[in-house]
């Protein structure tokens, strides 16, 4: 019974495919992601001809399509290029079969949107149907619509024929590939020099803290699309892009919004996160920024004698003392565990150091509020906790020293007693001999 049903399914599918060739739109039925990959009809001329020719320009696209998600979904050549694959005479007739061949760059977004903007079709794959709308309003979409055919379209990022799922590690838009995809265009010197735009974003990003973490396998750190968007790429002048750091760095953002910097931003448009930390080459934060000599350090905006600069120095001093105390406590505890040879319960001290590290991370966030009193108060708590660990470790070492001293005394007494016993036995032996 099951075999009959399977045969019937194949026959119905073949009938739908054949009827599709004769229809005006040649539209194929949408194949459920869970269905088997549909068979290629024997008389499908697009594929048979392109493969038979073994031409280096027209054969590879077919082989690439065979590996694509479109092949799995049943999207065929004529769905994008038009034509009638079942009729030799009408196969490439633009009037009778709507053959377009290679689509013009400005026509590609609308072509892809025939499916990807169809909510009913996309629902079967649990995919969004608003990519075309987002793209049309994006920097890329607007430039292409104005006639700039070098502006990216769908195929620029997703590929032309070998279009893979986003989660596929080989996909051009996979998280581990997307920076190279964006960078492939944005590092094109000739293309961006004539537009008077920078072309070093990829090189800068590869110097950043974000890339350092990404290259070590942390796929949660930001890539190009996380800050600029994927389909709805925004202008770098938009407030959404300028404040995009707030999405991930919530604690820092809340502190920043309580600071004089935020007030200045509302009035003058700066400073923002990238003013101090850069945008693409995001630096790993450090206390040196408060007294550094670079343009993105405090000195870049504030005179050395100004109240703002001196506030920064106070904050730096508090942070330096905190970090120093925490390092001393952690080093002392580590030394005890390695060289103390056990005998002491240190789990509570380990918890204190771990908590102090968490508090230090929070303190770094708090510094964005530039409230010296709050920073000093939180700093003092960490210092006291760290010093309590150092003091406890010191008491353990004192106890170890006392133990060693007692052990030494015990050995002296033991050896003295042993020597006395030995001497006495010699005297007894001598007296016996006499």
Best-predicted range by mean pLDDT (2-11, 21-30, 81-90, 397-406)? 81-90
139-181 residue pLDDT tens: 999 999 999 999 999 999 999 999 999 999 999 999 999 999 9
Please give the distance of CA 202 from its chain centroid, rounded to a whole number: 14
List the structure tokens of 345: 């319960």
Look-up: residue for tokens 């838009």? Answer: 173
The DSSP-derived string for 88-144 is TTTTT-TTTS----S--GGGHHHHHHHHHT-HHHHHTTT--S-HHHHHHTSHHHHHH
Q: How far apart are CA 134 and CA 119, in angstroms?
A: 14
59-92 residue pLDDT tens: 999 999 999 999 999 999 999 999 998 888 888 8
Sign of CA dihedral 201, 207, 213, 216: positive
Greater confidence, 34 or 412?
412
Best-predicted range by mean pLDDT (12-16, 149-153, 401-405)? 149-153
The answer to whether residue 258 scores a pLDDT higher than 90 is yes
3-state SS assignment for residue 237: coil
316-368 residue pLDDT tens: 999 999 999 999 999 999 999 999 887 788 999 999 999 999 999 999 999 99
Domain extents for the chain? 1-102, 307-399
Q: How far apart are CA 287 and CA 323, in angstroms?
A: 10
pTM of the predicted protein model: 0.79
Q: How far apart are CA 321 and CA 157, in angstroms?
A: 49
Q: How confident is the model at residue 35 (pLDDT cuts 50, 70, 90)?
A: low
Reference 358, options 369, 350, 370, 346; nearest CA is: 350
pLDDT of residue 9: 40
pLDDT of residue 342: 74
């Amino acid at each position: 019974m099951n075999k009959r049903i399977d045969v019937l399914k194949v026959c119905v599918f073949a009938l739908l495919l054949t009827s599709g060739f004769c229809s005006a739109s040649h539209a194929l039925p949408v194949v459920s992601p869970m269905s088997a990959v549909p068979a290629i009809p024997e008389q499908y001329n697009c594929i048979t001809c392109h493969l038979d020719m073994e031409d280096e320009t027209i054969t590879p696209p077919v082989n690439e399509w065979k590996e694509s998600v479109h092949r799995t979904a049943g999207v065929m050549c004529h769905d994008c290029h038009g034509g009638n694959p079942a009729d030799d005479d009408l196969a490439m007739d633009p009037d009778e079969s709507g053959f377009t061949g290679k689509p013009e760059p400005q026509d590609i977004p609308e072509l892809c949107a025939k499916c990807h903007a169809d909510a009913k079709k996309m629902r079967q794959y649990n995919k969004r149907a608003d990519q075309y709308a987002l793209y049309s309003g994006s920097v890329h979409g607007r430039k292409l619509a104005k006639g700039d055919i070098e502006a990216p379209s769908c195929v620029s990022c997703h590929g032309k024929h070998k279009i893979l799922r986003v989660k596929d590690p080989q996909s051009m838009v996979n998280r581990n590939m997307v920076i190279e995809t964006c960078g492939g265009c944005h590092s094109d010197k000739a293309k961006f020099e004539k537009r008077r735009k920078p072309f070093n974003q990829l090189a800068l990003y590869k110097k950043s803290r974000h890339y350092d973490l990404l290259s070590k396998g942390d796929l949660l750190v930001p890539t190009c699309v996380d800050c600029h968007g994927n389909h709805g790429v925004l202008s770098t002048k938009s407030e959404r892009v300028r404040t995009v750091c707030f999405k991930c760095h919530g604690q820092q953002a809340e502190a920043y919004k309580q600071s004089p910097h935020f007030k200045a931003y509302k009035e003058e448009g700066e400073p923002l996160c990238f003013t101090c930390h850069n945008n693409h080459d995001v630096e790993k934060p450090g206390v040196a920024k408060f007294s550094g000599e670079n343009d993105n350090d405090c000195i870049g905006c504030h005179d050395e004698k100004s109240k703002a600069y001196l506030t920064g120095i106070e904050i730096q001093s508090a942070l330096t003392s905190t970090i120093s105390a925490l390092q001393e406590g952690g080093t002392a505890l580590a030394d005890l565990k390695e060289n103390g040879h056990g005998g002491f319960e240190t789990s509570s001290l380990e918890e204190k150091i771990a908590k102090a590290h968490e508090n230090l991370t929070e303190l770094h966030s708090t510094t964005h509020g530039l409230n010296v009193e709050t920073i000093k108060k939180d700093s003092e708590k960490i210092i006291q906790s760290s010093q309590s660990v150092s003091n406890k470790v010191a008491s353990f070492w004192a106890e170890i020293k006392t133990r060693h001293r007692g052990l030494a005394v015990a050995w002296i007494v033991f050896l003295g007693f042993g020597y006395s016993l030995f001497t006495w036995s010699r005297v007894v032996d001598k007296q016996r001999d006499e």
